A and B are shown apart, each in its own frame.
Chain A
Amino acid sequence: MFQKFKLFLSSTRFKTTIWYSTLFLVLELLLGIFIYLSLYDNLMDNLDIALKTQAKGILRIVMEKHMDIDNFVPDSIYANPEDLVWDVIYNEVAFNLRNNYIQINSKKKIVYKSANLKEDTLSFKDKKEPMELFYFTDTTLSQKPIRCVQLAENNYKIFVAFPIQHVAQTLNSLAHIFIILAPIFFLISILGGALISAKSLSRIDAIIKKTEEITALNLDEKIIGEKYSDEYGRLVKKMNEMISRIKTSIDYMNQFSISAAHELKTPLTILRGETEIALKSPKLPEEYVEVLKSNYEETIRLTKIIDNLFFISKIDHSLIDIKKEKINLDDYLQNTVNNLKIIGVEKNISLVADSKTNSNVEIDKELMTQALSNLIDNAIKYGEENNVVIVKGDISDNNRIKISVLNKGEGIPQESISKIFDRFYRVESSRNRKTGGVGLGLSVVKAIVTWHNAEIFAKSIPNEMTEFYILLPKAA
């Protein structure tokens, strides 16, 4: 249970959800702060403009009435100066819907105070500009400072003020809304994120499940989802490609080890059988010697098989150092034939070189000689006694170098000819007591020829002649 939970915590699904939700929350907070600040600015600006406008309006009306409050003379309309001022600002106050604080001074004397100022008095000493905005803090009207505009002109001082507490309240309620909404949004974003990531990651789960199922035994199975062109589709496609590459390698290795085991089993059968029978009952010394001789031969054969296997495996994996050099074909074939003539002696087969191409080839001499000697070996092994094996150099139709090894013998059946270069394949009729070679000779030849970017073919007319020929690119 705990393990499962730990696994969940470390899952991409969980992590991405958390990341996205956190990011979402941070963005929401930033947005809230931005809105709060800009709104605060805006409200304050508006407040200032409103205060200023109102102060100007009051001053204008005060001036228009030509009031001489200092030398007030009662008349039919105004019995005392207060009446006059009250009337003057009446218009403004009536429309003072925001309930601003208003105070009018004339020559240091307060001539009017709006009722909402109660006992308080607005004052501002340092006067630099005719109209100035400031915070009035020395007051009992409000805990928060009061925003105040002072307009001083013609001995009048008009004060219009508004407690910013109201602005703060508006902003506070906005902040509250944000604070309440944040966790709700966070929850929604977690749920939504989880849902979305679950949906998109369910394909990953499918890939994981299938990958777990695939082993060396069912490499031909594919991960489903290649048809999508998104990242997952591409991932699946690449994984399938990788699986098929692994399959090719494993198939090759399997084939190689099956074939190797196959080839090794015959000498092992002989070794085991002969030894078992020799040990079964007492024998004459000569019989023991015979068994030992035979066993010795078989161990040599095993060594040869293993050497060939190693060679093929090495050349297949490009582990052999190859030194190509440009040489004259005619000389090369003549030399090779001279060196190998001895193989034909036992069957009285003469080995002849026939090459007048006057061309150069670029080959690794050692490897190519090994390939040719395998071909010549076969040609003699399967050739008729008292006959001839010809090693021919020629220029082929498409201007390539053609090296052929020809013999006269029973030949290769048509149905086998395409398979003879397969590893470990031996033409059935060739698997007889007289030859009994290792079924790797032609595989070695093929590996060498392929390495040279050349091709090898076989052509046979049963009971007449058999030709193996190599087509090599011509060297400049």
Chain B
Amino acid sequence: MRILIIEDEKKVASFIKKGLEEEYFVADIAGDGKEGLKLSTSEEYDVIIMDIMLPYMDGITLIKEIRKRDIATPVLMLTVNDSVKDKVEGLDAGADDYLTKPFAFEELIARLRALLRRNENSKTSKLTVGDLVLDLESHRVFRNNQEIILTPKEYSILEYLMRNSKKVISRTKLIEHVYDYHFDTETNIIDVYINKVRSKVDTNFEKPLIHTIRGIGYVLKDDD
């Protein structure tokens, strides 16, 4: 899952990024409101974490701008003010959740997971397709109650495919959601990863779950 962090305090942004990466997320940083607007409109993100006090364009204006452009990406705002007025203003502008600084990183992650869950039917911290189960909290994957060991990148790819099960995901889209924006989308490294994931998830099991749609991309589905 790819996260955009819009935060002017460099150190705050960088520890959030670091922590997110440890949780198998990928994250980009925007240091001010303008850069945040540029990235959030040109790239695809699963969640945006945004400070309210930002140079050039404050968080409230930024959220409104983003929503005006029909971008529905969930926004979690970070504030130093825990006044009701500020929270209401942020939520009304289009934010989905808020967290007051200083915050516990565990809570930030939990709220991110909750925001990612919103568009799914499942309301638990587990993703399930057929007999394949992915635990979002412990980052462990099981098939038929047998644990499958994945690298962080493989985990990210599987997570994205499972979140979007039954949908055909293009290679570009997959790259956009599992790599930060420094990644060169022209490479075919994603195919290498997909093959690795597939060999771990589908080999040794009766029914394949990951399917290649030639010329378009991939789909993860349980055919029943």
B54 vs chain A, min Cβ distance (A): 7
Mark interface residues in A258-269 (1 if CB within 8 Å of B CB, else 0). Answer: 000010011011
Residues of B within 8 A of A269 (CB): 9, 12, 80, 101-103
Q: Any chain B CB within 8 A of the CB of A209?
A: no
Residues of B within 8 A of A262 (CB): 80-81
Residues of A within 8 A of B101 (CB): 265-266, 268-269
Instruction: Determine the residue in chain B with the shortest Cβ distance to A265.
Output: B80
Q: Does A432 lie within 8 Å of B31, measured CB to CB?
A: yes
B197 vs chain A, min Cβ distance (A): 23
Q: Any chain B CB within 8 A of the CB of A119?
A: no
* Interface set, chain B 191-209, CB cutoff 8 A to A: none
A273 and B19 in contact, given A265-B80, A266-B12, A433-B31 (Cβ under 8 angstroms) = yes
Q: Does B11 lie within 8 Å of A294, measured CB to CB?
A: yes
Q: Does B104 lie within 8 Å of A276, measured CB to CB?
A: yes
Report, as a range, how many residues of chain A touch the other chain: 20 to 34
Rounded to whole angstroms, the CA-CA distance of A88 and B65 in the bound complex is 137
Instruction: Determine the residue in chain B with the shortest Cβ distance to A426.
Output: B53
Q: Does A432 lie within 8 Å of B55, measured CB to CB?
A: yes
A-B Cβ contacts below 8 A, count: 71
Q: Any chain A CB within 8 A of the CB of B183?
A: no
Q: Does A433 lie within 8 Å of B105, measured CB to CB?
A: no
Residues of A within 8 A of B16 (CB): 273
Instruction: Determine the residue in chain A with the shortest Cβ distance to B32.
Output: A432
Residues of A within 8 A of B32 (CB): 432
B102 vs chain A, min Cβ distance (A): 4
Pick from A262, A270, A273, A433 the residue with the most CB of B within 10 Å. Answer: A273
A431 and B55 in contact, given A265-B80, A269-B102, A273-B105 (Cβ under 8 angstroms) = yes
Q: Any chain A CB within 8 A of the CB of B38?
A: no
Q: Any chain A CB within 8 A of the CB of B8?
A: yes
Q: Does B9 lie within 8 Å of A266, measured CB to CB?
A: yes
Q: Does A281 lie within 8 Å of B22, measured CB to CB?
A: yes
Rounded to whole angstroms, the CA-CA distance of A272 and B11 in the bound complex is 11
A426 vs chain B, min Cβ distance (A): 9
Q: Does B19 lie within 8 Å of A277, measured CB to CB?
A: yes
Residues of B within 8 A of A430 (CB): 55
Q: Does A428 lie within 8 Å of B15, measured CB to CB?
A: no
B131 vs chain A, min Cβ distance (A): 30
Q: Does A436 lie within 8 Å of B105, measured CB to CB?
A: no
B61 vs chain A, min Cβ distance (A): 11
A213 vs chain B, min Cβ distance (A): 24
Residues of A within 8 A of B55 (CB): 428-432
Residues of B within 8 A of A436 (CB): 9-10
Q: Does B12 lie within 8 Å of A270, measured CB to CB?
A: yes
Rounded to whole angstroms, the CA-CA distance of A141 and B56 in the bound complex is 123
Residues of B within 8 A of A273 (CB): 12, 15-16, 19, 102-103, 105
A277 and B105 in contact, given A432-B31, A433-B31, A436-B9 (Cβ under 8 angstroms) = yes
Main secondary structure of the interface of B (DSSP, over half): loop
Q: Does B58 lie within 8 Å of A428, measured CB to CB?
A: yes
Residues of A within 8 A of B9 (CB): 266, 269-270, 433, 436
Rounded to whole angstroms, the CA-CA distance of A431 and B80 in the bound complex is 14
Residues of A within 8 A of B56 (CB): 428-429
Q: Does A277 lie within 8 Å of B54, measured CB to CB?
A: no
B158 vs chain A, min Cβ distance (A): 21
Instruction: Determine the residue in chain B with the shortest Cβ distance to A276.
Output: B105
Rounded to whole angstroms, the CA-CA distance of A280 and B20 in the bound complex is 12
Rounded to whole angstroms, the CA-CA distance of A270 and B58 in the bound complex is 21
B53 vs chain A, min Cβ distance (A): 7
Q: Any chain A CB within 8 A of the CB of B18?
A: yes
Instruction: Determine the residue in chain B with the shortest Cβ distance to A270.
Output: B11
A274 and B81 in contact, given A428-B58, A432-B55 (Cβ under 8 angstroms) = no
Q: Does B15 lie within 8 Å of A274, measured CB to CB?
A: yes
Mark interface residues in B102-136 (1 if CB within 8 Å of A CB, else 0). Answer: 11111000000000000000000000000000000
Rounded to whole angstroms, the CA-CA distance of A52 and B80 in the bound complex is 110
B223 vs chain A, min Cβ distance (A): 38
Q: Does B80 lie within 8 Å of A266, measured CB to CB?
A: yes
* Interface set, chain B 90-106, CB cutoff 8 A to A: 101-106
Pick from B12, B31, B58, B106 the residue with the most CB of A within 10 Å. Answer: B12
Rounded to whole angstroms, the CA-CA distance of A428 and B8 in the bound complex is 10
A433 and B22 in contact, given A269-B103, A280-B105, A428-B53 (Cβ under 8 angstroms) = no
Pick from B15, B22, B53, B104 the residue with the most CB of A within 10 Å. Answer: B15
Rounded to whole angstroms, the CA-CA distance of A436 and B53 in the bound complex is 13
B42 vs chain A, min Cβ distance (A): 21
A312 vs chain B, min Cβ distance (A): 19
A277 and B102 in contact, given A269-B12, A430-B55 (Cβ under 8 angstroms) = no
Residues of A within 8 A of B81 (CB): 262
Q: Does B10 lie within 8 Å of A272, measured CB to CB?
A: no
A158 vs chain B, min Cβ distance (A): 112
Residues of B within 8 A of A433 (CB): 8-10, 31
Residues of A within 8 A of B105 (CB): 273, 276-277, 280
B36 vs chain A, min Cβ distance (A): 13
Residues of A within 8 A of B31 (CB): 432-433
Rounded to whole angstroms, the CA-CA distance of A266 and B103 in the bound complex is 11
23 inter-chain pairs at a CB distance below 8 angstroms, sorted by A residue, are A262-B81, A265-B101, A269-B12, A269-B101, A270-B11, A270-B15, A271-B102, A272-B104, A276-B19, A276-B105, A277-B15, A277-B19, A280-B19, A428-B53, A428-B55, A431-B53, A431-B54, A432-B31, A432-B32, A432-B55, A433-B8, A433-B10, A436-B10
Residues of chain A touching chain B, judged by Cβ–Cβ distance below 8 Å, are: 262, 265-266, 268-274, 276-277, 280-281, 294, 298, 428-433, 436
User: Can you list the 6 inter-chain pairs with the closest CB atoms, starting with the nearest?
Assistant: A269-B102, A269-B101, A433-B10, A273-B15, A277-B19, A265-B80
